[in-house]
């Protein structure tokens, strides 16, 4: 066989192989192109695996072979197709369908699929959630207090340039709205008799706290910034930052009292003593007269003996001891609330509900901690007996010291005279709300799921709602409780239901920035609340939300939430 014959034979073989391979590739390509199924579900640009009834979502699908009859199904219920299109994201073409989750879809785990000329195509797992129960009235959110900000034009030649850059001064300043420098509105409180707001503010330049008031649009500093933790004048007082986290759950708190004075907590450690070299740790409950600026310590500074031993690193004047003003000890008081007789109630050690009487005595009403005394021989050869308190990681209802509270941070007295506590849970419980009858000293968990159970419901009846992180409690004009973190919920004590009052969907097209959006009045169904530190009501039924953290470009520090009556 000559070379020409060999070449012709090889060429024919290659040609036959090419025909075979190309045909096989084409068949495979036709098969791939003919495949159908759901690729993904998207909402607001994010891939999701669940959505509420009546929500609109975008379904990415591969239709495959052409078909004129396409129907979408969510958990076996046909969904309304709002629009249809195509997308070339990820480098290949996909069909897109904007659909509405049907009202008859079964709540819970299910799937999304479509039919092509009546034939069911492969599905994708998808969970259907019940829609939030919205507050049955009109809610509007509008800015109430602005902070001063410097604005400078950015370079139009840079990426994203041509707009404005906003910076906030590091040092706080008094004055009217837009003139005053307000950094954080922490533990917002309102005195209905005086028409005055109070809040703690954090100065970033020296990491210090100020106690400030807002009245008739004017911000005034009434305490803090001084050098003396035990000062009797507000201007000289230093407010401690021990345990301070600026997230609503730190041990600092304040509440206007029935006597017109403002009650607040102060937790700090002193500088080391020049003789012993040891600092001292204190937790105080104080009150200030907003008119005179006079400050009184009403609990915590009893100077009771604290045992000094060789390996001490701090003289700890904090504790959980009941008794008279001269012997009682407090540890980390928060959740201040006044009873009907004028006594001050508070949460202590995250586990105890305690009462401070008008005579300065302190008594534990509910809860228990382990109180242990250890005997040990120190390095100096002496025997010492240090005292330790340990929280019990349990959550159980009951009476008196039979109650177990874990991670309690917030408390409020409602219109029915009962107290309500928000707890981070313990012993297999998630976040929960506990109702306390002070007359019988009984505690009952009314919201919260046990044993690691989870709920898809953020609204609904008390028994079916699963709580998430919350940073604030307050009582509305009708005696119901409102709570939230970046969304405000209403807890109706009569109907035993929880409804959503605010939410955010997206920015309307006429707004170019979050800052612009927050500076104008918005409906509660589409508004930005910011990270709530506390919400309070005035005597007219209006709600005010204080932010401890908002977007860097936003200068709104307090928002007013107007709730229109039916």
Confidence of residue 19 (pLDDT cuts 50, 70, 90): very low
Task: Please measure the distance between the N-terminal and C-terminal CA atoms of the chain and give it in whole angstroms.
Answer: 101
Give residue-wise pLDDT tens across range 403-450.
998 888 888 888 888 999 988 777 666 788 999 999 999 999 988 877
pLDDT of 249: 55
Pairwise CA distance, residues 55 & 102, whole Å: 8
Instruction: Pick the more confident residue, 560 or 24.
Output: 560
The pLDDT of residue 465 is above 70: yes
Pairwise CA distance, residues 468 & 87, whole Å: 36
Pairwise CA distance, residues 405 & 349, whole Å: 10
The pLDDT of residue 566 is above 60: no
The pLDDT of residue 247 is above 60: no
Calculate mean pLDDT across residues 25-31.
41
Number of neighbouring beta carbons within 10 Å of residue 182? 27
pLDDT of 32: 39
Under DSSP, the state recorded for 494 is: T
Confidence of residue 90 (pLDDT cuts 50, 70, 90): low
Give the CATH fold of the 35-129 domain. Answer: Immunoglobulin-like (2.60.40)
Pairwise CA distance, residues 551 & 113, whole Å: 39
Mean residue pLDDT across the chain? 83
Pairwise CA distance, residues 247 & 477, whole Å: 26
Confidence of residue 281 (pLDDT cuts 50, 70, 90): very high
* Dihedral sign, Cα of residue 376, residue 379, residue 383, residue 388: negative
H helix or E strand, kind and range, residue 505: none
Per-domain boundaries in the chain? 1-30, 35-129
Residues 6 or more apart in contact with residue 481 via CB below 8 angstroms: 412, 414, 420, 473, 474, 475, 490, 491, 493
**Do the beta carbons of residue 114 and residue 38 sit within 8 Å?**
yes
pLDDT of 25: 38
The pLDDT of residue 209 is above 90: yes
Give residue-wise pLDDT tens across range 210-231.
999 999 999 999 999 999 999 9
563 pairs with which residues across the strands? 139
Output phi, psi for 207, to 5 deg. 55, 50
Confidence of residue 282 (pLDDT cuts 50, 70, 90): very high
**Do the beta carbons of residue 197 and residue 214 sit within 8 Å?**
yes
pLDDT of 225: 92
Residues 6 or more apart in contact with residue 47 via CB below 8 angstroms: 40, 41
Convert 339-363 to b/e letters by CB count within 10 Å (16 or more is b). Answer: eeeebbbbbbbbbbbbbbbeebbbe
């Amino acid at each position: 066989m000559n070379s020409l014959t060999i070449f012709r034979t090889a060429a024919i073989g290659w040609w036959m192989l090419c025909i075979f391979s190309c045909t096989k590739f084409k068949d495979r390509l036709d098969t791939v192109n003919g495949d159908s199924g759901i690729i993904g579900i998207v909402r607001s640009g994010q891939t999701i695996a669940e959505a509420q009834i009546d929500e609109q979502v975008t379904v990415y699908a591969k239709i495959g072979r052409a078909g004129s009859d396409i129907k979408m199904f969510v958990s076996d219920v046909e969904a309304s197709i709002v629009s249809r299109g195509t997308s070339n994201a990820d480098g290949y073409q996909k069909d897109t369908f904007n659909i509405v989750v049907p009202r008859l879809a079964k709540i819970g785990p299910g799937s999304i699929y479509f039919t092509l000329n009546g034939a069911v195509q492969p599905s994708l797992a998808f969970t259907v959630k019940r829609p939030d129960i919205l507050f049955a009235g009109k809610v509007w959110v509008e800015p109430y207090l602005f902070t001063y900000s410097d604005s400078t034009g950015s370079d139009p030649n840079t990426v994203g340039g041509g707009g404005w850059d906003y910076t906030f001064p590091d040092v706080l300043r008094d004055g009217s709205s837009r003139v005053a420098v307000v950094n954080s509105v922490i533990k917002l409180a309102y005195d209905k008799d005086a028409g005055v707001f109070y809040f703690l503010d954090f100065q970033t330049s020296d990491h210090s706290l100020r106690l400030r008031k807002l009245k008739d649009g004017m911000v005034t500093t009434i305490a803090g910034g001084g050098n003396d933790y035990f000062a009797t004048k507000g201007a000289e007082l230093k407010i401690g930052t021990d345990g301070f986290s600026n997230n609503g759950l730190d041990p600092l708190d304040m509440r206007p009292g029935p006597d017109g004075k403002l009650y607040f907590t102060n937790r700090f450690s002193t500088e080391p003593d020049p003789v012993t070299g040891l600092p001292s740790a204190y937790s105080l409950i104080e009150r200030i007269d907003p008119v005179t600026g006079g400050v009184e310590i009403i609990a915590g500074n009893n100077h009771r003996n604290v045992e000094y031993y060789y390996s001490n690193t701090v003289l700890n004047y904090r504790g959980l001891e009941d008794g008279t003003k001269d012997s009682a000890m407090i540890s980390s008081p928060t959740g201040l609330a006044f009873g009907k007789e004028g006594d001050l109630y508070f949460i202590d050690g995250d586990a105890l509900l305690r009462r401070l009487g008008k005579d300065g005595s302190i008594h534990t009403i509910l809860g228990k901690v382990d109180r242990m005394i250890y005997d040990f021989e120190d390095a100096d050869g002496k025997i010492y007996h240090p005292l330790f308190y340990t929280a019990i990681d349990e959550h159980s209802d009951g009476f008196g010291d039979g109650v177990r509270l874990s991670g309690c941070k917030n408390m409020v007295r409602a219109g029915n005279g009962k107290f309500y506590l928000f707890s981070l849970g313990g012993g297999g419980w998630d976040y929960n709300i506990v109702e306390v009858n002070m007359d019988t000293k009984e505690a009952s968990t009314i919201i919260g799921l046990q044993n690691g159970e989870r709920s898809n419901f953020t609204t609904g009846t008390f028994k079916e709602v699963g709580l998430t992180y919350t940073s604030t409690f307050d009582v509305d004009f009708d005696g119901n409780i409102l709570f939230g973190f970046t969304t405000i919920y209403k807890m109706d004590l009569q109907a035993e239901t929880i409804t959503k009052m605010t939410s955010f969907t997206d920015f309307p097209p006429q707004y170019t920035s979050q800052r612009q959006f927050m500076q104008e009045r918005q409906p509660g169904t589409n508004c930005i609340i910011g990270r709530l530190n506390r919400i309070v009501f005035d005597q007219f039924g209006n709600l005010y939300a204080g932010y401890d953290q908002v977007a860097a470009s936003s200068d709104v520090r307090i928002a007013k939430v107007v709730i229109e009556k039916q």
